[in-house]
Amino acid sequence: MKLHELTIHEALRLLNKKEISAAELTNAVLDRISQVEPLVDAYITVTADTARKAAEAADQAIRRGEAGALAGIPLGIKDLICTRGIPTTCASRMLEDFRPPYDATVMEKLNAAGAVMVGKLNMDEFAMGSSTENSGFKPTRNPWDPSRVPGGSSGGSAASVAADMCLGALGSDTGGSIRQPASHCGVVGIKPTYGRVSRYGLVAFASSLDQIGPMTKDVTDAAILLNAISGYDPRDSTSVDQPVPDYTKALTRDIRGIKIGIAKEYQETAGICESVCRAVEQAMAVFRSAGAEFVDISLPHTDYAVAAYYLIAPAEASSNLARYDGVKYGFRATSEPGRNRNLFDMYKSTRSSGFGAEVKRRILLGTYALSAGYYDAYYKKASQVRTLIKHDFKTAFDTCDIILAPVAPTPAFAFGENTDDPLQMYLSDIFTLSANLAGIPGLSVPCGFSDEGLPIGLQLMGSYFEEASLLNAAYCFEQQTDYSNQKANPAKH
């Protein structure tokens, strides 16, 4: 079975025609994982036995004519989405042995649709990072060039899709963690509007920013997966009771008359490499030939977005990660002579050894920003800037339908290249994190290659709950180009 040619929508067609079985498809994916995982290291846990059982159940449902929308489709799940009885580690030693007693809402939806989970995917610890170098277990490598990072924090999700170790995956996006690795690995990734997809059962990093979304080989697959996981959930207080369209029906390829905004602030951003600029300009030409109209817009508070994000997100992380204290659940540091003499010592030693360096850095940043005497100067001010950024986007969407921008300033960088410079690492999110601050949807679609043959993604952002418009624009672009699901990737051979 040629997995590198197989998308979700094509697999569904073959399954429904009974030209392949779910068991055959699942075994082919599991075989692929065993072959390629030593090169890529995308998975923390491979759930082969439960996957085979789920595939058999899917085959039975197909034979009965009762197949769900994703019956028999092998998917990977980012390891911060709760899966009942299956380890959910957040790539942290702190949760190394944690087995949730319940499924996240998105997992309930996937299970109801008949999807087959083949494993839990690697990530930056607690989703804090842009390279998957911060995993508490191992780094994931980019299938296009194993000497380079896959991006983060959903690096395992992007790499597994790019290397055909699943047909699609779920990631999460707090400041670009779906879109940036999708760009670096040459796949499609969409961050939905905040509130479109339930966060119930998503282990929180920054609760006002986190959102779950699909990562797939092409736009059609992204629409199919987004259909499956979207919708109101009363168990999530941030879920929005808004009708969910059929995203696959939005893929018409017709974008004539659509107005695409180009922000001068993004054009003036320093540090964008020439290959990214070239790919974005070529993408603009494709949209123009399809009948789109370009308009100049301004997002005047863009320069403050990185600073605001790296106060708000660490502050929320500091609060959310306070629960990992060695008492309630998770890791507890073992007692040593002269240590853990009291409760404070146990807290200190547990958190010192259970969290990695990047998580501790962000907890310290967030705790400082929330501390007495500094709250107004830092967290409150950052929240006010966030309101201004939201207003910037609202004003922009009065004159355009979609905003076009790069996903990242550069293609995938080499391992260790930014490790000693956290600020440089944080700046790699400069084009993506504003969408999280504003709560709007954003999408990455492959749009070209660097001189070294590395994939480059194009970012499209839309107004609230306009995922259908983004998907259709990306679909139109994809159908006129040949960048999605390329075969040049070394892990594909």
Burial 36-51 (b: 16+ CB within 10 A, else e): bbeebbbbbbbbbeeb
DSSP H or E stretch at residue 405: strand 402-406
Q: Which of 78, 120, 191, 217 is catalytic?
A: 78
Amino acid at 197: V
SS3 56: helix
Spatial CB neighbours of 458, under 8 Å, sequence gap ≥ 6: 279, 280, 283, 404, 406, 407, 444, 445, 446, 447, 477
Burial of 338 from C-beta contacts in 10 A (0-12 / 13-18 / 19+): exposed
SS3 320: helix
Residue whose tokens read 């983004």: 470
Asked whether the beta carbons of 106 and 127 are under 8 A apart, the reply is no
Residue whose tokens read 């499209």: 460
Residue whose tokens read 């036995």: 49
CA–CA gap between residue 94 and residue 76 (Å, rounded): 22
Told to judge if 492 belongs to the known catalytic residues of this protein, a careful annotator would answer no
- In the chain, what are the helix, strand and coil shares in percent, each to the nearest 5? 40, 15, 45
CA–CA gap between residue 475 and residue 216 (Å, rounded): 13
Strand partners, 293: 259
Burial of 64 from C-beta contacts in 10 A (0-12 / 13-18 / 19+): exposed
DSSP H or E stretch at residue 448: strand 442-449
Spatial CB neighbours of 179, under 8 Å, sequence gap ≥ 6: 173, 189, 190, 191, 407, 432, 442, 443, 444, 457, 459
Told to judge if 78 belongs to the known catalytic residues of this protein, a careful annotator would answer yes
Strand partners, 263: 297
Q: Which of 157, 177, 198, 434 is catalytic?
A: 177
CA–CA gap between residue 138 and residue 10 (Å, rounded): 33
Told to judge if 177 belongs to the known catalytic residues of this protein, a careful annotator would answer yes
Strand partners, 197: 230
> Which DSSP string corresponds to 66-124?
---TTTT-EEEEETTB-BTTB---TT-GGGTT---SS--HHHHHHHHTT-EEEEEE--S
Nearest to 473 by CA among 281, 291, 255: 255
Asked whether the beta carbons of 146 and 380 are under 8 A apart, the reply is no
Q: Which of 153, 154, 239, 318 is catalytic?
A: 153
**Which residues are part of the catalytic machinery?**
78, 153, 177
